[in-house]
């Protein structure tokens, strides 16, 4: 399955509600939002080891936030849009990155998968809460515990097969074990997304 860009996944009124929501929620600081140190990457690009903020909604299939009822309907819209049925929601997190000194368009967070230890096939959805820059980047390689036990991809040759700039209301749907990366904004103050991992 190739990554799918879904434009205006949810109604405009719901998009606006979610954008307002992020102003007042508790955000938790992460020293490294991408879970890895800087390192070389192919074609002259290097990793950005930037801080960021997160708010967990679902962990290990269980709700850990009172905000989950506000976010969950996104998945119902997804089911209708691409004709799937979600059997189980594994993890959902809101993430916010802000401008980082020295950042440029040739850098991005370390390529990774969200649930490397999860053996079953699962799917990932990245929903964009606000207009921003800081592209989502998806690579041609998939995590395989037997051949590359590190869920953060570094030394394996790879190529970018998909790039998308955040636009409020849009979402990207792809295979969960496919290596991907986010980025931090340069021209916008913040980049806010919701990251869903689930089984269909």
The string of pLDDT tens digits covering residues 85-125 is 999 999 999 999 999 887 777 777 778 888 877 888 999 99
C-alpha span between 54 and 56 (Å, rounded): 6
The string of pLDDT tens digits covering residues 141-185 is 888 767 665 555 555 567 889 999 999 999 999 999 998 988 889
CATH number at residue 166: 2.60.120.620
Q: How far is C-alpha 48 from the chain's CA centre?
A: 15
Question: Is 10:73 a contact under the CB 8 Å cutoff?
Answer: yes
Name the H helices within 25-108: 68-71, 73-82
Question: Is 94:140 a contact under the CB 8 Å cutoff?
Answer: no
The string of pLDDT tens digits covering residues 47-95 is 676 788 999 999 999 999 999 999 999 999 999 999 999 999 999 999 9
Q: Is the pLDDT of residue 131 over 90?
A: yes
Give the CB-side neighbour count of residue 57, counting CA atoms within 13 A: 19
- Residue 150's pLDDT is what? 59
Its domain, for residue 137, covers 4-199
The tally of domains found in the chain comes to: 1
**pLDDT band of 39, cuts 50, 70, 90:** very low
């Amino acid at each position: 399955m190739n990554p799918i860009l879904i434009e205006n996944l949810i109604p405009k009124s719901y998009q606006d509600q979610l954008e307002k929501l992020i102003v007042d929620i508790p955000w938790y600081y992460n020293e490294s939002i991408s879970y890895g140190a800087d390192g070389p990457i192919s074609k002259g690009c290097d990793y950005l080891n930037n801080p960021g903020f997160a708010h967990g909604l679902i962990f290990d299939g269980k709700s850990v936030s009172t905000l989950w009822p506000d976010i969950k309907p996104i998945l119902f819209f997804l089911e209708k849009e691409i004709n799937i049925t979600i059997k189980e929601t594994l993890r959902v997190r809101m993430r916010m990155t802000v401008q980082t000194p020295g950042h440029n368009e040739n850098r991005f967070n370390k390529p990774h998968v969200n649930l490397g230890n999860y053996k079953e096939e699962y799917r990932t959805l990245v929903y964009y809460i606000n207009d921003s820059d800081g592209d989502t980047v998806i690579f041609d390689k998939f995590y395989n515990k037997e051949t590359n036990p590190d869920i953060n991809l570094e030394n394996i040759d790879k190529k970018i097969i998909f790039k998308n700039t955040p636009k409020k209301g849009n979402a990207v749907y792809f295979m969960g074990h496919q290596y991907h990366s986010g980025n931090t904004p340069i021209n916008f103050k913040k980049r806010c997304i919701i990251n869903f991992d689930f089984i269909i």
